[in-house]
Each structure stands twice: as C-alpha cells, then as structure tokens.
C-alpha cells in the first residue's frame, strides 16, 4: 500500500508505506513528480515493468541491497541514477585470505581482524574473550534463516571495533531474542555500525541485553521493531535491556533513526 498521493501545483507527491511490498506494472508511468528524486523503502521486493517509465525522476534511492529487490523491464526512466543503501551481499564464513572461518578464529579468542565481508551460514557463538574489528560487514546468509547473528555467552566479553558493520537484514529474530544476544559483556567502540534489522517479534531487539552493554562509540540506527501495542513489558527495541542488565552509553555512542511502527519500543526498550 502507498501511504499517500496528493497533487502539488499539478505535480504528484508520493509517500510510500514502510510495509509496501511491490510496485505494479505501469504504476507511475509518465507521472509528473513534484521532486526528481524519491526514496523507495526496503520493504519493496519487486518493481514491475514500466513502473516509473517516462517520469521526470533522475535519482532513486532504494533502502535495501540489490539482492533484495527485482527490477523488471523499464522499471525506471533511462539515465536514472540508482543508489542502494546496502551493498550486494556476497561472500562466505571466511574472514581473510587464509581461508580460516570466523567461527574457528573467535573460538581461539584474541583479536580477529576482517579483511573481507563475512556472510554467516550459521550464527557466531562467542565463548571466549575476543575483539572483532575491520572496515567490513558481517551479515547472515539470506537463505539460511538464522535466528540470531551473534551470541555472547555468560562471563565472556566481546568487543566490536574499527569500522565494522553488522547488518541484521537477513536474521529472523524470534520472540525473546535478538540479532545480537548478549548474556555476557558487549563493548561497542570506534565507528561500528549496527543496522538494517527488521524485527517482527515481541520482547526482542537488534541488541538484546541481559548481561552488560558498554557503548563508548558506534551507531545503532535504521532498525525497525514490531513493538507491542500498549504492552510495555513485551515491547521490542533497537536495544532491548531486560532484568538486571547493565547498559552504559557514552557521548560518543549514538542510537538514532530506529522505529517501532504501530507499537511501543523503537530506540531503547528497558523492561523488568
């Protein structure tokens, strides 16, 4: 569904719903848009034939990866500039040129520095103190239906640093869980980015903390939680803090641009 269409000085202004799944054949063909640029939400999985053909669009931002949306013939006018907010997801469980998997590396503890993007075919369970850094992305394999991305076990410390990005896009978070589940200690430092989770379950989070979360840097943004209408005890959030957990956020850490459409939660959710 489209949130709204209205006319402004004989031009069409469109507001897309964050739950929109598809844009149909010829939907906006030859429509005079009020702006030459639009943003299409990441919920859209297909843009059908000639959907925007013949329009005055010059710049289109699609809030997803090219892996996640199908563009049919003539979907956009010739010469349009397409920008995806997520890069194409390619790779495997290895983290550098040695061929060692990241699972084996973190089992040994110490410091693991990524020199390539990592695509996890199974979750990363942290059972030894370890630091993971590098200017690359860790994401889940789209076809593996992972229920969480990283789990920090009790009495264990995980530090995320450098320019590391954790992409929660392909994690099917279950109720009472998270993309990152922290029962031990999680330190988020430097320019780490944690984003793109779409959490449809209650009592969950991009980062779900029952242990300790120290955020001295980094950014948690662009995550969407289901929330729980009127029931705060079951709400979800980008950061979900529960029970006797500890959460420390310094001035260099940032939590912004997260949402919980139709419910409570969104940014930081604290429950007993």
Q: What are the mean pLDDT values of the chain's consecutive 10-residue runs (272 residues total)?
A: 47 81 93 89 92 94 89 95 82 91 96 95 97 95 91 98 93 91 97 89 90 97 73 79 94 91 76 82
Contact by Cβ (8 Å): 139, 89: yes
Classify residue 110 as exposed, middle or buried by CB count within 10 Å of its CB (0-12, 13-18, 19+).
Answer: exposed
Q: How far apart are CA 65 and CA 68, in angstroms?
A: 5
The pTM score is 0.77
First to last CA, the chain: 37
Provide CB contacts within 8 A for 191, sequence distance 6+.
162, 163, 217, 218, 219
């Amino acid at each position: 569904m489209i949130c709204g269409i209205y006319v402004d000085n004989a031009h069409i202004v469109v507001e897309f719903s964050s739950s929109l799944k598809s844009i149909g054949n010829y939907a906006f063909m030859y429509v005079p848009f009020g702006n030459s640029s639009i943003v299409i939400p990441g919920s859209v999985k297909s843009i059908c034939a000639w959907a925007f053909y013949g329009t005055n669009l010059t710049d289109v931002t699609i809030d997803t990866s090219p892996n996640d949306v199908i563009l049919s013939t003539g979907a956009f006018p010739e010469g349009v500039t397409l920008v995806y907010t997520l890069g194409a997801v390619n790779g495997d469980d290895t983290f550098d040129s040695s061929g060692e998997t990241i699972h084996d590396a973190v089992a040994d503890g110490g410091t693991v520095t990524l020199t390539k993007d990592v695509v996890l075919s199974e979750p990363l369970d942290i059972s030894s103190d370890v630091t993971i850094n590098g200017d690359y992305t860790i994401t889940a394999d789209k076809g593996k239906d992972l229920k969480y991305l990283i789990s920090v076990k009790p009495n264990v410390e995980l530090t995320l640093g450098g320019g590391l990005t954790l992409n929660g896009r392909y994690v099917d978070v279950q109720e009472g869980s998270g993309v990152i589940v922290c029962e031990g200690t999680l330190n988020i430092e430097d320019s780490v980015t944690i984003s793109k989770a779409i959490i449809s379950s209650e009592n969950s989070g991009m980062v779900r903390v029952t242990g300790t979360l120290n955020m001295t840097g980094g950014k948690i943004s662009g995550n969407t939680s289901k929330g729980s209408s009127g029931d705060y005890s079951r709400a979800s959030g980008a950061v979900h803090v529960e029970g006797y957990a500890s959460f420390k956020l310094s001035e260099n850490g940032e939590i912004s641009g997260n949402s919980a459409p139709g419910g409570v939660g969104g940014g930081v959710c604290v429950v007993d």
